[in-house]
Amino acid sequence: MGNLNLKLIIATHNSDKEKELRSVLDDCPVEVMSLEQFPEIGDIEETGSTLYENAKLKADTVNRITNLPCLGDDTGLEVDALGGAPGVYSARYAGDNVSYEDNLMKLLSELRSTPSEKRTARFRTIIFYTDGERELYTQGEIQGIITKSPRGSNGFGYDPVFYIPELKKTMAELTPAEKNKLSHRGQAMGKFRKLLLDIIQ
């Protein structure tokens, strides 16, 4: 598609998230860049107390350094039986510098005596865009149930324990295209894509 005048940086060091975000913009007339192209930008500490604050923090920080339009994503898994935890702390639920597996095992352990009907949860994503003047934000969410053991090998993070009743599959049993069509991030990005196209066309 058309002119590639607009550069857009995806402000994350998480390559799994970046892949999903990037794929929604595949056919947009923008040059999508990643933080790999800006090695001087290190980890951005998520000091916000909400997903919105963290998504904005990531986009604002990278925009300030590069002067280019930036997109930040922050996602949380909210489990009802845990009062909405791990929520904004989803990346470090089991501690600092832990693996996806560590977080997932901690979640299953916290829920070990919670029966199936009380294991309801949702993924929520906030996308925040800034070009230094204009700001946009969108959100997406999907409801599911936390399984008692992991299933499936696609996706990342908590996907293997996030069961979608309508599909009778965990998020990790979906193909990347299937996940992006209905996921929290896919929905937020779909809305953002429309807003972005309005700006640039």
Element at 106 (helix H, strand E): helix 100-110
- Minimal distance in Å, beta carbon 168 to ligand IMP? 18
**Active-site residue flag, 74:** yes
Q: Which is nearer to ligand IMP, 56 or 185 (CB)?
A: 185
Give 77's strand partners: 87, 123
Are 77 and 90 in contact by the 8 Å Cβ rule? The answer is yes
Are 143 and 123 in contact by the 8 Å Cβ rule? The answer is no
Residue type, 86: P
Q: Which is nearer to ligand IMP, 46 or 141 (CB)?
A: 46
- Minimal distance in Å, beta carbon 53 to ligand IMP? 12
Catalytic residue among 27, 74, 102, 131: 74
What is the chain's percent helix, strand, coil content, to nearest 5? 40, 25, 35
- Minimal distance in Å, beta carbon 40 to ligand IMP? 20
* Chain positions contacting ligand IMP, by CB under 6 A: 14, 46, 73-75, 90-91, 100, 103, 155-159, 171, 183, 185
- Minimal distance in Å, beta carbon 60 to ligand IMP? 16
Residue 70's nearest CA partner among 135, 3, 2, 1 is: 135
Are 72 and 135 in contact by the 8 Å Cβ rule? The answer is no
Q: Which is nearer to ligand IMP, 28 or 188 (CB)?
A: 188
Q: Which is nearer to ligand IMP, 111 or 171 (CB)?
A: 171
Q: Catalytic residue numbers?
A: 74
